[in-house]
Structure 1
């Protein structure tokens, strides 16, 4: 395939129940219509070894993972692969099972999810690199799954405050928050999700790790989706958030650094079956520079384009890849 040729990306907005037999295998995935658009080469050029190779790319059913899935789809299409869209699989376990059974070839997951939910460990590893390596080694040995190098995207818990509150109290880290609460307990007003408020690996554990009295503060409980708005509107001073959520940007919130690394590390990484990775090593080569470009600020902006601005995650992924020079629009 010449470098000037464009390739057609068929973005199937769910998965191919009838043609892949996934319903029969118990994953419960459904098919939908295809939304085709074209992409041309950029720094990603057609790869002879991938030309015409069928690659099923999956994702979970939330915005960030869908965007990550589409990044892989667009990139691999530009490299010449025949991409089958398996994004929007409901639930981590279903997404994982689709990868294990071979219904999906490429998917993104998170190191903390792998370590705790899939591999059954109870104690997270505080260091990002050590957590990744532990998951990588264990999942390869036990399940034949290969985790590629992780991204700087770390979708974990944190506390957020308004920009005005952060500036007024010189807040940058969770240690700064704890010091403020010890000094002025009345400032400790929290918006928390109900389960997080009572779990030892949630708020009580944070209070213990950072040395403030959880009983001295006021806790207001909300659904996780409403905490962002409640925090921005002053219903509380500190809100429980996910570090890569696009609403952080949309509502001008400031994320406090978890400087004592209390929360588990949830770095995003591409996962493949080792057999598939060994047969098609070019997939990892195509994706490596994209993974290296991703970080929390970048994915937060992309998430905001979907969740705040209402854009389609596939188009958001394509446009970012174009802006970064990985792919191009087709020549008119």
Structure 2
């Protein structure tokens, strides 16, 4: 995709989280810590799944992809955020459009990866005897391929419609990254098509993802409640607990962010809320999926013994 600039603006100024100079160093240290934990956690989980054959199952295949997306997702904008805390908050037009594309791509892809994980849990609990047939290597690959293709299509739609806009004089983005809604506020041409694209793409992602996950867990819950033993119900719930927490954090914080940023008067609140799903959630996912997971703990123990031997 050629980034053709039809605007007189060649660069943007990112306001960041705060314009107060005394807060720049504390914010830098905070985001640096979050970034380090995110990279180490997700890279560690990717390595652990790759090195241990016991984790080469559909469930961990999806988790591998989730960690990969979170890692890339964080690397798209966090280094730039850190740089902006200690230097000028400037990003080129091309850099901004590139950041927008990859941000949209990884966010949309993660939504559908979470849907695939919910479907995997549904098959494992509701039709366990058919699990190996239903969740074959081919099916898992197609689910992931579809997630990335849909994410790519959504990102192309957002970025392509943004490239047709003209940015005249105003180039101050009141955000810490190049997001759709803050950029639309700077356009000196009609944004009607962009708004339509935004609501269609985001609406489809949210509705399809949330409805699919809700139906999966409604069927899972119905099946679990029919399990006669308390131990069986507890074991079934434990396999879904981590994913439910991850889904609630990602979709909950994302929905709150977009609801607040849709209103100009609440842009500041939305900007701070977006920190949670753009920075905190990718950091927490490895902890959520590993702390309560016996398979991951066992694999980690074996790997450490192998390395330290």
TM over 0.5: no
Between Structure 1 and Structure 2, the one with more strand by share is 1
Between Structure 1 and Structure 2, the one with more helix by share is 2
Of structures 1 and 2, the one with the larger relative CO (CA 8 A, separation 6+) is 2
Sort the TM-score into its range (normalised by shorter chain): under 0.3
